[in-house]
Structure 1
Amino acid sequence: MRLQGRVALITGTGSGIGRATALRFAAEGARIVGVDIAPSNEETVDAVRAAGGEAIAVRADVAVESDVAAAFGRAEAEYGGIDVAFNNAGIMLDADTDAIATADETIDRTFGVNVKGVLYGCRYAVEAMRRRGGGSIINTASFVASVGAATPQIAYTASKGAVLSLTRELAVVHARENIRVNALSPGPLRTEMLMSFLDTPEKRHRRLVHVPMGRFGEADEMASAALFLASDDSSYMTGANLQVDGGLTAAYVTPE
C-alpha cells in the first residue's frame, strides 16, 4: 500500500502502460483519475473499480490545453488534490519515417501529444502539487531518446528526446518545492501500439536482436517502475531517467 491515501492522475489509461499502471497504483491504495481520449478508458476505470479500487474516467485530448486543465480540475474537485501525475499518453504514427519523407502534419500531431501534452500535464500538476505541498511527476520518454535507429521514426524519436530535456529542467526548477520530476524510458514492449507496427516475425526479430534479455518488455513491468517513481521509495530522485529496457541502451554486441 505504498500509495495509500494518494491521488494519481494518469494519462493514456485506455491501454498499455497507462492501463497497467492504473490497476497497479489502485492496488497500492491510490485513487485513480484515468485520462484518455479513447472509449476504452472507461473499461480501465471499470476494471479498477471491479478490483476494489476507486477511480474516475476523464475524456481528454492531452494536446489540447483546455482539456488537460479540465482533467486536473476534475481530479481536484473529486478528490481534493493530486499527489502523482503520470504523463504517459503518447502516439507513434505510421507516416512517421525519416526527416525527408515525414510530413509536417505527422510531426505536428506527434509533438502535440508527446511534447505539448507532457508539458501541459506538468504545468497543471505543478500548480496542483503546490496546493498539496508537493508530489511526484512522471513523464514517459523512451529508449529511442538515447539511441539512434536505422528504422527511423524521426518525429517520435525527437519528441521523446524533448520529454527528457523537459523533465530535467522542471526537476531543477521545482526541486525545493517538494515536487519531484522524473522520466521513465521503456524499451520495446509487447503492447498493442508496438505490435501493430511490428506486424511480422522479421520486424520483431529486427528489434529483439538488439535486446540483451532477448524479449519484449511487458506493460506490467513499466507499471512497477512507475510505482517506484511515484512512491516514497524514490524520495531522493529527481531529474532522473529510469531506463527499463532489457539492457538495450547498455548494449554494443548482444549474446548470440
Structure 2
Amino acid sequence: MAAPADLCRHALNHFRQRRGGIIVNVASRSSHRGDDAEHLAYGAAKGGLLALTKGIARGCSRDGVLACAWHRAGWRPTSLRAWTPQKGRSAAAGGSDPAAGGG
C-alpha cells in the first residue's frame, strides 16, 4: 500500500497545480469480497487500494481530480501468475500455456 499511496499523493499535488487530472488504480474482485486464506495480504492490499481510490474520488473532485478503480472479474493469465487451478503446476514449470499463446 505504500507505493500506491505515495504515487497518488504525488499525482494529487501535480493535479491540484494543474487544476485537474485522473487517477486510475487497478483493483480486483478481492477488493470487494476478500480472498482465501492463502492470499489474505493480497485481498487486504486491494481492499485498501479501493478505499484509497474512493477517498480520493470523494475528497478531491472539487479540485478537478477524478479517481476510479478498474478491475475485471476472474483470473488473468500473466507471466507473474503462470499457475492456474485448472492447469496445475505444469504451466508454472514451463509447460505450455494456451492462454499465453503456447500449446
Instruction: Please state which band the TM-score falls in when normalised by the shorter chain.
Output: 0.7 to 0.9
Secondary structure class of the residue paired with 1:191: coil
Tell me which residue corresponds to 1:207.
none
Query: d(CA) in 2 for partners of 1:167 and 1:182?
Result: 6
Who is 2:63 aligned against? 177
The change in CA–CA distance for 1:116 and 1:194 in structure 2 (over 3 A counts) is: same
Distance 1:126 1:150 in 2: 33
Structure-1 separation of matches of 2:54 and 2:34: 21
Structure 2 residue matching 1:152: 3-state secondary structure: helix
Are residue 193 (structure 1) and residue 80 (structure 2) matched?
Answer: yes
**Structure 2 regions of 5+ residues with no counterpart?**
90-98
1:164 aligned residue: 50
Q: Distance in 2 between matches of 1:180 and 1:131?
A: 14
Q: CA deviation at 1:150?
A: 4.0
Report the CA distance shift for 1:150/1:128 in structure 2 as closer, same or farther (over 3 A): closer
User: Could you tell me which of 14, 17, 23 is aligned with 1:131?
Assistant: 17
Offset, 1:131:
1.7
Calculate the TM-score normalised by the size of structure 1: 0.32
Residue 143 of structure 1 and its aligned partner are, at CA, apart by 1.2
Please report how far the alpha carbon of residue 147 of structure 1 lies from its aligned counterpart in structure 2 after TM superposition.
2.4
2 CA distance for matches of 1:150 and 1:123? Answer: 30
Per the alignment, residue 104 of structure 1 pairs with none
The separation in 2 between residues aligned to 1:201 and 1:121, in whole angstroms, is 36
What is the number of residues matched between the two proteins? Answer: 90
Structure 1 pair 179/156, CA: closer, same or farther in 2 (3 Å)? same
Query: Does the aligned pair in 1 maintain the 2:34–2:40 contact within 8 Å?
Result: no
In the other structure, the counterpart of 1:153 is 39
In structure 2, the residue matched to 1:140 is: 26
User: Could you say what the CA RMSD is over the residues aligned between the two structures, in angstroms?
Assistant: 2.4
C-alpha offsets along residues 197-219 of structure 1, whole Å, 9 cap, x if unaligned? 4387147xxxxxxxxxxxx7x9x
Question: Percent identity between the aligned chains?
Answer: 27
The Cα of 1:140 is off from its aligned counterpart by 1.1
- Cα distance change, pair 126–143 in 1 and its aligned pair in 2 (3 A): same
TM-score (norm 2): 0.74
Q: Aligned equivalents of 2:49 and 2:61: distance in 1? A: 18
The amino acid across from 1:190 in the alignment is P
Residue 149 to residue 168, structure 1, CA distance change in 2 (3 Å): closer
**Deviation of the 1:186 alpha carbon:** 3.2
Partners in 1 of 2:49 and 2:37 — Cα distance? 21
CA drift of 1:149 comes to 4.0
